[in-house]
Amino acid sequence: MEAATEAAGSVAMPLVGWGQVLLSLLLVLAAMLTVLWLLRRVHGGIGARSGGIRIHAAAAVGAKERVVVVEAGGRTLLLGVAAGSVRTLAELDAPPAAAVPEAASFGDLLARLRGRSQNL
């Protein structure tokens, strides 16, 4: 009889151990998500506008060089950006009129990929 209860106890123990590990993992993940949420609330999140600076357009002109149209403080600037420097190339009268195209939704991209796979 004692052997049967010992065997049952040894089988149940690992299950309790795994349950504790899983619960601990879920608590750690919940804590991480809470910290990330708080950081986004405090700092505005990743990619938030910083201090009223808005990038209207950008174009690569070399391996590490770009030309960027930026609006900051009510002024529109054409900037040259290289690996170690940023220079004002010109001050523009108004931001460019060309609107930035909206990003395609996930559903549109998925439909487009499905169409390609059916054409193959």
Confidence of residue 9 (pLDDT cuts 50, 70, 90): low
Measured distance CA(83)–CA(72) in Å, rounded: 21
pLDDT at 109 exceeding the cut of 70: yes
CB of 64 closer than 8 Å to CB of 49: no
Residue-wise DSSP of 14-66: HHHHHHHHHHHHHHHHHHHHHHHHHHHHHH--TT---TT-EEEEEEE-SSS-E
- Mean residue pLDDT of the chain comes to 78
24: tokens are 């601990």
Each residue of 31-80: pLDDT tens digit?
999 998 888 777 655 444 556 788 888 888 988 899 999 888 888 999 99
Measured CA to CA, the distance from residue 23 to residue 16 in angstroms comes to 10
- pTM score over 0.85: no
